Chains A and B, each alone.
Chain A
Amino acid sequence: MDSSPFPRIYLDHCASTPLDPEVEEACIRALRDHAGNPSSLHAEGAAARSALEQAREQVAALIGARPDEIVFTSGATESNGLALHGLVRGSAEAAGAARRAVTSAVEHPSVAEPLAALEDDGLEITRLAVGADGRLDLASLEAALRDGPALVSIQHANHETGVRQPLAAIAASAKQRGAWLHSDASQALGRLPIDVGSVAVDLLSGSAHKLNGPKGAGFLYVRRGVPLAPLLRGGPQERRRRAGTPSLVGAVGLGAACALARREGARRAAESARLRDRLWEGIVAKVPGVVRHGAATDALPHVLNVEFRDVAGEALLAALDLEGVAVSTGAACSSGSLEPSPVLLAMGVPPARARCAIRLSVGLGVDDAKVDHVLTLLPDLVARIRAAAGPA
């Protein structure tokens, strides 16, 4: 049907990633080999339990945690909800009850919306602005923390721009003020190093499918001693922090993805950064009227957020898709709702311009030839869309 040497070029690794063959093999084994429930006491149960605990060790090892600090979930959205609702409720009786929350204006909806729901229930929330570079100002965090015990929730790196927040400094401030710190690390995990031994984060969310693992699996790191109430009740699983039989295939896939990231993450991140830079340099050289949002040397290595002036992002997305190239206009959820990216708006980009941004994110399966093919397509597609907007 298609004579192109590139049937599809997938540049949306921020939304989800292809399964790594090594992870796939682990998942298939987990599906095939385990009839037992990890909570059962017989040999089949013990075998399933063993696979689950091995996965837990793999996840813990990637972030420098203890295995018992890892709670398996259905993904980062659940992890974020569990962290925020769970800590507010779990700390209610404690001396450091979180009655206030401090967050950023650029969080993923799976953080922003639970916080908004908690705000309706009386939690007082401070949303810290970010600058044009997408980064929050530490002084404003310090100021917000002066008013007593709080829950701080700040992402490790942004899902639309790749901009990284200074998590170590944020953690130091939070610790000094006796605040709890949660961080959504789903985009950064495996791409930026994180060690919960040296960065004093209390809760950390991660996801398997951003890391060449299966969709529908994630984890929440819960530092020992952090009071966390469960969202799901009805069983002793996950040390009573998440009832229900966990997805064994999900957990094993997540574990395998984390083990792979621990081994290969730095090398893959460097390769991603090289491809991203090749893409951006090509775009700048070949397409007039482009602006990059969130460029920084320490940003996520695989993300490129580019505004093509006077080109509706949704039009360019569709035009590229028809040519076999998958990109995004923002967070997968934002694309569904068709609103301009709240992240770019928070960075001071006007709505009309924010609608002209697309996110290209590289990863497994992308190589120089594919990047170069996209660079041959982009100038003509952008020119065609700009011409279409003029008189017929």
Chain B
Amino acid sequence: MSARGARVVVAMSGGVDSSVAAALLVEQGLEVIGVTMHLAGGASRCCSLDDADDARRVADRLGIRFYVANYTDAFRAEVIEPFADAYLAGRTPIPCVACNRRFKFRHLLERARALGAEAVATGHYARNVRDPETCRWRLLRGRDATKDQSYFLFDLDQEQLARVRFPLGELTKEEVRARARALGLATADKPESQEICFVPDGDYAAVVERLRPGALPGEGEIVDGAGRVVGRHRGIHRFTVGQRRGLGVALGRRTFVTGLDAAANRVHVGTQEELHAARAVLEGATWIDGAPPAPPVRGLLRIRHRHEGASATLLPRPDGDVDVRFDAPVRAVSPGQAAVLYVGDEVVGGGWIRSSAP
């Protein structure tokens, strides 16, 4: 029907990364369709209809078709509400992983198939390569170590990895900006979004309070390592393991949040040492290859996005949970965060931190 290349849908946020990703695919001769997912509604800085306007201008410039896909209801149910509930349960959620898996690589992949495209491309700094021997897909860090986003993609499965393109995987951010400027893209120097897109000004407690006004925990005790009540708090959803500021207690030494007990509505505080954990349990573990590697599973475990990683041994249990033993104690292991296992540049798998222990 058409002499052009295969059809591919690019998730365009209006930012520089996805704009350049789209441009690179156009250069490859593919029939590129830009889609902006409208996710978080009016309150968000990201994925708003203003960003869609930016993306539309880029699409015009690239001469590609462009559409907006509306997922605000699903995003609220599948990402924002679980985010609020996690805080109320004393965890520190990382909603970007669910957003990627459920929206970019499920809803959008579905939309791509609806439009006759077999693949979805994004502006993530990550690489997916097919192993020529096993024919299995592997997920690797982006070439730009400072921008690598593979952490957020750890729970993609083989089916998804086969249908995903990461055109920026081999590029650095500077190269991407240079490409954007060379292409005359309006978004070349747009500031980067760092915070969670639906949390304005980083005030996540306000998001929780707006979403779950009836379920707020109310005041409770702040307890130290010896079980002494050392203060009071105004809701555990305002705290994160490792947090130092805003505790309102003065113990004459540096004091950190070491744990959150939702059932007792207690915030546990302690010293720097008490903040360290040598063991952890992960739940909901997934493995890029579909099954865990043969034990012992060794590698570098990253316990939050900016964490460089800590050497650890993972023991997958038959029930799907994973016991983690760190080679040396690790600071601020926060329940709710993703723990992602790397061997070299490769993502092996990961899970969600349920608990930690000294």
Q: Tell me the bound Cα distance from A317 to B112 in angstroms.
A: 13
Given A314-B68, A319-B116, A338-B72: A388 and B49 within 8 A (CB)? no
Give B65's nearest chain A residue, CB to CB.
A322
Cβ–Cβ contact B113 & A384, under 8 A: yes
Q: Do B109 and A318 touch across chains, with their CB atoms under 8 A apart?
A: no
- Out of B70, B109, B163, which one reaches A338, CB within 8 Å? B70
26 examples of A-B residue contacts, CB within 8 angstroms: A312-B114, A314-B68, A314-B70, A315-B69, A317-B67, A318-B33, A318-B67, A318-B111, A318-B114, A318-B115, A319-B114, A319-B115, A319-B116, A321-B65, A321-B67, A322-B33, A322-B115, A337-B49, A338-B49, A338-B72, A384-B113, A385-B114, A388-B113, A388-B114, A392-B109, A392-B163
Asked if B28 is at the interface of the complex by the 8 Å CB criterion, the answer is: no
Within the complex, what minimum Cβ distance (angstroms) separates A342 from chain B?
15
Q: How far is the CA of A392 from the CA of B159 in the complex (A)?
A: 8
A336, B49: Cα distance in complex, Å: 9
State in angstroms the CA–CA spacing of A3 and B4 once bound together: 12
Residue B321 is within 8 A (CB to CB) of chain A in the complex:
no
Contact with A along B109-140 (1 / 0, CB 8 A): 11111111000000000000000000000000
A388 touches B111 (CB 8 A): yes
Residues of A with C-beta under 8 A to B279: none
Write out, one digit per residue, whether chain B residues 40-67 have a CB within 8 A of any chain A CB (1) or not (0): 0000000001000000000000000101
How long is the Cα–Cα vector from A159 to B214 in the complex, in angstroms? 41
Q: Does A93 contact B (CB under 8 A)?
A: no
Contacts of A388 in B (CB 8 A): 110-114
**Would you call A314 and B67 a contact (CB within 8 A)?**
yes
- Chain A contacts for B65, CB-based, 8 A: 318, 321-322
Q: Cα distance A388–B114 when bound, in Å?
A: 5
Q: Given known contacts A321-B65, A384-B114, what 18 new A-B pairs fall within 8 Å (CB)?
A: A314-B69, A314-B70, A315-B114, A315-B115, A318-B67, A319-B114, A319-B115, A319-B116, A321-B67, A336-B49, A338-B68, A384-B113, A387-B113, A388-B111, A388-B113, A389-B110, A392-B113, A392-B163
Q: Kindly count the residue-residue contacts between A and B in the assembled complex, taking CB atoms under 8 Å apart.
A: 50
A338 touches B38 (CB 8 A): yes
- Bound CA–CA A342/B219 (angstroms): 42
> In which size bucket is the chain A interface?
10 to 19
In the complex, chain B residues whose CB is within 8 Å of the CB of A147:
none
Q: Which residues of A contact B69 (CB under 8 A)?
A: 314-315
Contacts of B116 in A (CB 8 A): 319, 322, 384
- Interface of B with A (CB < 8 Å)? 1-2, 33, 38, 49, 65, 67-70, 72, 109-116, 159, 163
Whole-angstrom CA separation of A322 from B116 in the bound complex: 9
Q: Which residues of A contact B (CB under 8 A)?
A: 2-3, 312, 314-315, 317-319, 321-322, 336-338, 384-385, 387-389, 392
Q: With a CB–CB cut-off of 8 A, which chain A residues contact B68? A: 314, 338
Cβ contacts under 8 Å, A322 to chain B: 33, 65, 115-116
Complex Cα–Cα for A314 and B115 (A)? 11
Main secondary structure of the interface of B (DSSP, over half): mixed
Give the chain B neighbours of A317 by CB distance below 8 A: 67
Most buried by A among B112, B116, B163: B116
Quick one: which of B33, B72, B114, B115 has the most chain A CB within 10 A?
B114
What CA separation (Å) do A312 and B69 show in the bound complex? 10
In Å, the complex CA distance between A388 and B108 comes to 10
- For residue B169, give the distance in angstroms from its CB to the closest CB of chain A: 22
Chain B residues within 8 Å of A319, by CB: 114-116
C-alpha spacing A338/B38, complex, angstroms: 9
Does B38 contact A2, Cβ atoms closer than 8 Å? no
Kindly report which residue of chain B lies nearest to residue A321, judged by CB atoms: B65
> 10 closest Cβ contacts across the A-B interface?
A388-B113, A338-B70, A385-B114, A388-B114, A318-B67, A315-B114, A388-B110, A319-B115, A392-B159, A338-B38
A322 CB to closest chain B CB (Å) equals 6
Nearest chain B CB to A136 CB, angstrom units: 29
Partner of B2, one of A2, A336, A385: A2
B111:A315 contact, CB within 8 angstroms: yes
**In whole angstroms, how far apart are the Cα atoms of A384 and B116 in the complex?**
8
- A384 CA to B115 CA, complexed, in Å: 8
B residues within 8 A CB of A312?
Answer: 114
**For residue B110, which residue of chain A has the nearest CB?**
A388
CB neighbours (8 Å) of A389 from chain B are 110, 114
Q: How far is the CB of B59 from chain A (nearest CB, A)?
A: 13
CA distance A32 to B315 in the complex (A): 82
C-alpha spacing A319/B65, complex, angstroms:
11
A98 to B115, CA, bound (A): 51
Give Cα distance in the complex from A314 to B66, angstroms: 12
**What's the nearest-Cβ distance from chain A to residue B312, in Å?**
33
Q: Please name all residues of chain B whose beta carbon is closer than 8 Å to the beta carbon of A314 when the two chains form the complex.
A: 67-70
Cβ-closest chain B residue relative to A388 = B113
Cα A321 to Cα B64 in complex, Å, equals: 12
Distance of A91 Cα from B65 Cα, bound (Å)? 50
Q: Which residues of chain A are near B38, meaning CB under 8 Å?
A: 338
Note all chain A residues with C-beta closer than 8 A to B110.
388-389
- A100 and B70 CA atoms in complex are apart in Å by 37
- Across the interface, which residues of A come within 8 angstroms of B111, CB to CB? 315, 318, 388
How many Å lie between the Cα of A315 and that of B2 in the bound state?
Answer: 21
B56 shortest CB reach to chain A, Å: 11
Closest to A386 in B: B114
CB distance from B198 to the nearest CB of A (A): 16
